[in-house]
Amino acid sequence: MRLSPGLRKAALAAHLALSVGWIGAIAAYLALDLTAATGADPQVLRTAYLGMGAIAGWVIVPLAIGALLTGLLVSLGTKWGLLRHWWVLVSLALTTFATAVLLVETGTIAAYAAVAADPTASDTELRALGTTLVHSVGGALVLLVVLVLNMYKPPGLTPYGWRKQREEPGALHPTGLGPRSTERER
């Protein structure tokens, strides 16, 4: 299913906005995560964990799911296809992995935010809360890899992509030396 040019541009714009927003939201989250990991002031810790909970639940998760869904729409509705090129498959796999890890990690983030939101939580309890730095830094790196893949689109067709390319009229011969002749032309 190919999207019309107008719909393709709208889907691509939405995908880019959601994807870039996801990276930006992770940057904001990472600033709070670093603050929580290095801070000792209980009020600063309380604020950082509450901010991490809000950003993760209300911003990062919706952006991640939106980027994943619009990425599927763009790949299915354009010449790139979902299964034709390795870079699309790797991007999809990394985005799906990042979203899954995020959804699992959101439980931990919500638990930390709940402790921080409890006015009876002691300073010791706040200082004992863990960090999610490994996940936030890892998530940012995974998304940057996806960004680079989507910008440079390294060559390489999947076996399915090779088959589909051979079926297209006027497709290049696998050697790349000219068009493939069809049965009618022989």
Q: Do 37 and 78 reside in the same domain of the chain?
A: yes
- Consecutive H or E run containing 126: helix 123-128
Number of domains in the chain: 2
Q: Do 181 and 93 reside in the same domain of the chain?
A: no
pLDDT of residue 26: 98
Q: Report the distance separating Cα 150 and Cα 158, nearest Å.
A: 16
- From the list 135, 128, 104, 144, the residue with the least C-alpha distance to 42 is 128
Q: Any idea which residue has 């995908």 for tokens? A: 15
Q: Do 136 and 177 reside in the same domain of the chain?
A: no
Q: Looking at the predicted structure, is the pLDDT value of residue 184 above 80? A: no
Question: What is the domain extent for residue 165?
Answer: 158-186
- In which band, very low, low, confident or very high, does the pLDDT at 168 lie, cut at 50, 70 and 90? confident
Among the ranges given (53-62, 75-84, 161-170), the one the predictor scored with the smallest mean pLDDT: 161-170
- In which band, very low, low, confident or very high, does the pLDDT at 185 lie, cut at 50, 70 and 90? very low
- Give ∠ CA 132-137-138 in degrees, rounded to 5: 100
- Give ∠ CA 117-123-129 in degrees, rounded to 5: 65
Q: Looking at the predicted structure, is the pLDDT value of residue 101 above 60? A: yes
Q: Do 162 and 72 reside in the same domain of the chain?
A: no
Q: Do 150 and 122 reside in the same domain of the chain?
A: yes
Q: Report the distance separating Cα 29 and Cα 51, nearest Å.
A: 8
pTM for this predicted structure: 0.86
